[in-house]
Each structure stands twice: as C-alpha cells, then as structure tokens.
Chain A
Amino acid sequence: MAVTSTRNLPSDVEQIMTVARYDIFKHLRSRRLIAIFIIEAAILAVMLALPAILNQPYSDKPAEFVQNVLVFTFTNILIILAATMFAGDSICSEFQNRTGYLVFPNPIKKSSIYLGKFLSTALIVLVVVSVWYWVAIIAGYIVTGGVSTLAIESYGLAVLYAFAASSVGFLISSVLKGSTGALVLTFFLLFMIFPLVDSVGTLGGIEPVPSITYQAGAIDAVMTDPYPQNWVEYANETIGLPFNIYFFYPSVASSAAVMLGYIVICNLAGIFLFKRREMVG
C-alpha cells in the first residue's frame, strides 16, 4: 500500500493556490457573483446614459468624464457590497456549515486555508472593480479621445480599498459565529459606523486619518484637478455660523498607506484568531 508521508505533501504556496482555485469555483457557481455584476452593469448603464437623457454634454476631460460616470457614492457602495458578499462570511461559514469538519483535518495549515480564501476574494473584488473602471475609462477614451493617469490612480486606490474592505470582512468572519451576523456587521461597519465616526471627527476638527472609509475619499479626490486642499470655514456670527466647519481630504499617499495597513493588520489578526478557533458544535 502506498504510504503517504510528509515528504510528498504540497508546499504551503501550492495548497494556498488549491484553496483559492476551489473558492473561486464556489463564487463562480454562486448567485452572489451574478448579482453583483447585474448591479454593476445597471449602474454603469444609467450613469453612461444620464447626460444623453438629460440632454447635457459629456465632459471632454478624461478624468472628469470618469469621475462623472463613477460617482463616488456608487463606487463606495459597490466596493462595500463586494467586500460583504465575498469576504463577510468566508471563514465563519466553514464553522457554521460544518464544512470545517471535512477540510480542517487535512494536512494543511489553517493559515493556508485563510490565505487561499483571501486570494480568491481579492481576485473576485479585483474583477468587480476593474469592470467598473475599465468600462468608464474606455467610454471616456471613446468620447474624449484620452485616458487620464488620474483615473488610473483612482482605479488603483479603489482596488486597494476593495482589498482593505475585504480584509475587514475576513477579520469579522474569523470572529463571529454566524454568517448572517458577519455579513450584516461587515456591511454596516463599512457603510454606516465608520462614516459616522468620520463625520463626528470632522465636526470636531479632527481629521479621521485611521479610518478606512475616510481614506477611501482619495479615490474621488484624486480625479479632481487641482487636488482639493483641507480648509476651514471659521465660525462667523454675522452669517449665522456658530462653529467652525472643517473639510478634510486624504492624500493619495496616506490613503494607500492606511489601506495597506488595514490589509496587513486585519489579516494577521484574522489568521491568528482563525488558528485558535475551535470546531465545536
């Protein structure tokens, strides 16, 4: 009889790739992927057609054109939705659906399972964000005849934001018991709780530098030429403004740095918690 020994086990990297491949397969056979592409296509179609419908001219500046199509509110929602749907329950579903009983007793490190799944999610959100940007950039090229590096920078930041938001989803997924709770928490954390904290900080005159959703603002800011500067509308009793109003704009560098920080820290914490998590029940 063949004796399987540790010698011919695949390397960690090979196993990560295997996990990623089958996880992508899972997404390809799921309704979630179809759903997000339908949402994406619908918004793009409306935004591309909007000037024509309203009888207004399309922008002739490549960056502005892309900015007009990819309204930041929609980019933000799309990325949060993608992170929720493809990251929010990736780890806890193995526990809740009891598939962990099948997978964990294999000769594979739990960190490899985690990383394989993250790789798969990263690839899916990359495709979602890429479709979003490339449709707008190509349409912009057709209309304006140019492609702006600012739009490409925005695309890069959006991809980083999608990875960072997914990392938050993975961390939540490593902690929470149920899939529904993890999905809901991921969504509301990114969609409401972070932005709320951002607003409170901004009102108090504190730039919410560590906030992922604040830093996501650079995705839009970078397409504005010239780059918007922080400014303050000082309190002025004569025009009825009782307190200072602050406007903060994250720079591209700080945005990229904070996103990378989220990716590294959330996933390190996620792996740590996943490793220690026991398969009970």
Chain B
Amino acid sequence: MTQEPIVLQNLTKDYGKGFRAVDDLSLTVMPGSFVGFLGPNGAGKTTTIKMLTNLLTVTSGHAYLNGIDVSSNPKGALGGVGAVVETPEFYPFLTPNETLEYLGAIRGMPKADVRKRSKEVLELVKMTEWSNVRIGKFSKGMKQRIALAQALLHEPTIVLLDEPTSGLDPRGMVEVREVLKELKKLHYTVFMSSHLLNEVQEVCSEAALIDHGKLMAYDSVSNLSTKIDSKKLEVRIADQVRGDAMDKLREFQGVRLLNIVNEQQFFIDFSGDEQAQADLLLKIQGLGYRVVSFKESGVALENLYMSLIKSSR
C-alpha cells in the first residue's frame, strides 16, 4: 500500500443545525509522521477524531484511513487503526488482560499473538502488575494507560490519540509522554490532538493548527518555528519604567511590540539576528536603565500559535 495513512477531504461536521464544529478540513498525513493536532479547547479536535473513528457521522466531506472511507466502510478503514478517544471507559468486570483478549479477538489476532503483545504493551505503559486485576476501580491515569496499551495491541499502522495526557496529574503526564516518545521511535503514524503547545513541540514532528474548526497551518514543527522570526524577550530592570524611554524603545529597529508588565519588567516582541539583539540590550542600557535580566522567553511556535488563534477570532 502506497497511499497516505490519513487523508481528510473537506471534512465538515455540524452539530444540530447551524453550529459548525469542523469546517472544511483538508489534511494529509504521511506515513511514519507524528502529527500534533493542536488547538485551543473547543477548536474541533475531538470532533475530528470522532469522525475518523466512526463515533460521529460526517456532515460532508470524507475521512480516509489507509485509503478506505470511514463512513462507507468503517470495518475496513479501522482495521489498521488503534485509537484512544476522550477518556474511554472499560468494562469493569474485565481485567486488562481479558480486555486485551477481547479487543484482540475482534481485531483478528491469533490467541498466542494477543498473549505476547498484551505482555509487551502492558509493560510499555507500566501496568504489568495490574494485568489480572478487574479494571472496575482503576484510577483515571491507570485507565488512560490501559487505553494506550489497547490502541497499540495489534501493531496498528495508524494511531489516533485524543488529548492522551488530559486530566492526568503531572507525573501521569510525564509517564504518558514517555510512552508517546517510544511510539515515535517505533515509527507508527500518529495523529494526536492536544491543546498543549509544549507537548506537541516535545513529541511531534508535524503540527496541524486548528481553531474554530478550520485548519490554520500545517507543517513540520521546525518549519513552523522558523516561519515566524520574532521572539519574545523578557527584560527586568532595577529602575522604574519611564514612558518616554519606552516610546524611544518602540522605535528601535526590530521591535514589534512592547508590553509593560510592571514598573520593573517588560516584554519585547523582537525580530532580528543575534547582533541586533545584542544591540538592543545596549540601547536599553543607553536609555539609562540598569538591566537585571534580559532573556528569551516563550517559544516561537507559541507566538505563531497565539497570533494564528487571534487572527481567526
């Protein structure tokens, strides 16, 4: 098979009449890529992933998985897919091993494979010691890890994840991210939604930015980061901020925006090379300020993300 693992074609979803949650979304995911589907809450991420997993009907457009249309042939399309959507619940009367046996049987895995893979995936998500305990009373974090395990059970070609770290405590988040990084090494094609920029930057190779159901940008994380050449500089001074000095600073080459946080701190959106940045520091000192600290704060992608979101309002 040579076709792209995930193809969205003008995918659209209306809830009831009038409200368009996903708006004419077109997107192609290449084999082996790890795409972060990034957008603020309510952007339409879950809705998109639900349409990909046959949980919602499509209003118009198409979603193809391994070249098969999910709406017309969900069984075929989902054959090579592992998914975690929202936080799924499990049958409380089954243990993780029994749950994996069930899902393995539905996916057509021979019993011996299920046993072997169950061991592997439960180890991967660090749930081995719970493998024969009924899931009924598991915590949310434990269930989330079992959910990841089941998604990988049958060695799918495509992994769809909807905010896999949401609702977890910081330690749970770190643990799940470790699993995600393992996936990256294993060369699965992963499509993962997230509203956390740092998470996407940490684990994804590509990012698709979505807001109000529309695709805002889609490129490799590194390209997106360089696309916008401004960075955010945080400046702290030992003197009081003066208005006239600030006005002078605003006129300096490369300064796009100046935000005064308090009397001794301000942020500068700055575009320019390292030489220009060094000159900027001299300029600030030249205005009579004693600079306590002068550092880059925030990441370029965040700026892009925020500016794209702003422009779509």
Q: Which A residues are within 8 Å of any B CB, using their own CB?
A: 1-6, 8-10, 14-15, 18-19, 22, 25-26, 29-30, 97-102, 104-110, 276, 278-280
Q: How far is the CA of A97 from the CA of B93 in the complex (A)?
A: 13
Q: Which of B53, B89, B105, B157 contacts A105 (CB 8 A)?
A: B53
> Cβ of B200: which chain A residues have Cβ within 8 Å of it?
none
Contact A3 B88, CB 8 Å, known A8-B108, A22-B102, A108-B75: no
Contact of B103 with A by CB under 8 A: yes
13 A-B residue pairs with Cβ-Cβ distance under 8 Å, sorted by A, are A4-B157, A6-B68, A6-B80, A10-B105, A29-B93, A99-B89, A101-B86, A102-B147, A104-B55, A105-B78, A106-B106, A108-B75, A108-B106
Distance from A252 Cβ to chain B, minimum over Cβ atoms (Å) = 40
Is B155 a contact partner of A1 (Cβ separation < 8 A)?
yes
Pairs of residues from A and B, 5 with the lowest C-beta to C-beta distance, nearest first: A101-B88, A105-B53, A279-B55, A98-B89, A102-B88
Distance from B152 Cβ to chain A, minimum over Cβ atoms (Å) = 11
> Cβ of A2: which chain B residues have Cβ within 8 Å of it?
155
Closest chain B residue to A15 by CB distance? B106
Q: Which of A1, A4, A30 contacts B79 (CB 8 A)?
A: A4
Is B86 a contact partner of A98 (Cβ separation < 8 A)?
yes
Is B157 a contact partner of A26 (Cβ separation < 8 A)?
no
> Cβ of B91: which chain A residues have Cβ within 8 Å of it?
22, 26, 99
8 Å CB interface, B160-174 against A = 160
> Cβ of B99: which chain A residues have Cβ within 8 Å of it?
102
> Cβ of A8: which chain B residues have Cβ within 8 Å of it?
108
Distance from B50 Cβ to chain A, minimum over Cβ atoms (Å) = 7
Closest chain A residue to B89 by CB distance? A98
Is A4 a contact partner of B80 (Cβ separation < 8 A)?
yes
Contact A105 B56, CB 8 Å, known A6-B76, A10-B108: no
Is B79 a contact partner of A105 (Cβ separation < 8 A)?
no
> Cβ of B155: which chain A residues have Cβ within 8 Å of it?
1-4
Q: How far is the CA of A15 from the CA of B79 in the complex (A)?
A: 13
Is B55 a contact partner of A105 (Cβ separation < 8 A)?
yes
> Cβ of B90: which chain A residues have Cβ within 8 Å of it?
99, 102
Q: How far is the CA of A211 from the CA of B103 in the complex (A)?
A: 40
Q: How far is the CA of A26 from the CA of B93 in the complex (A)?
A: 7
> Cβ of A9: which chain B residues have Cβ within 8 Å of it?
75-76, 79, 107-108
Q: How large is the interface on B (under 10, 10 to 19, 20 to 34, 35 or more residues)?
A: 35 or more
Chain B interface SS verdict (over half): loop
Distance from B248 Cβ to chain A, minimum over Cβ atoms (Å) = 56
Contact of B40 with A by CB under 8 A: no
Is A105 a contact partner of B81 (Cβ separation < 8 A)?
yes
> Cβ of A3: which chain B residues have Cβ within 8 Å of it?
1, 80, 155, 157
Contact A4 B107, CB 8 Å, known A99-B90, A101-B86: yes
Q: How far is the CA of A29 from the CA of B75 in the complex (A)?
A: 29
Distance from B155 Cβ to chain A, minimum over Cβ atoms (Å) = 5
Contact of B242 with A by CB under 8 A: no
Is B89 a contact partner of A4 (Cβ separation < 8 A)?
no
Distance from A97 Cβ to chain B, minimum over Cβ atoms (Å) = 5
Contact of B26 with A by CB under 8 A: no
Is A279 a contact partner of B156 (Cβ separation < 8 A)?
no
Q: Which of A15, A18, A278 contacts B57 (CB 8 A)?
A: A278
Contact A106 B93, CB 8 Å, known A6-B68, A279-B55: no
Instruction: Please encode chain B, from 171 to 188, with 1 for each CB lying within 8 Å of some chain A CB and 0 for all others.
Output: 000000000000000110
Is A25 a contact partner of B93 (Cβ separation < 8 A)?
yes
Closest chain B residue to A113 by CB distance? B106
Is B88 a contact partner of A99 (Cβ separation < 8 A)?
yes
> Cβ of B62: which chain A residues have Cβ within 8 Å of it?
none
8 Å CB interface, B255-294 against A = none
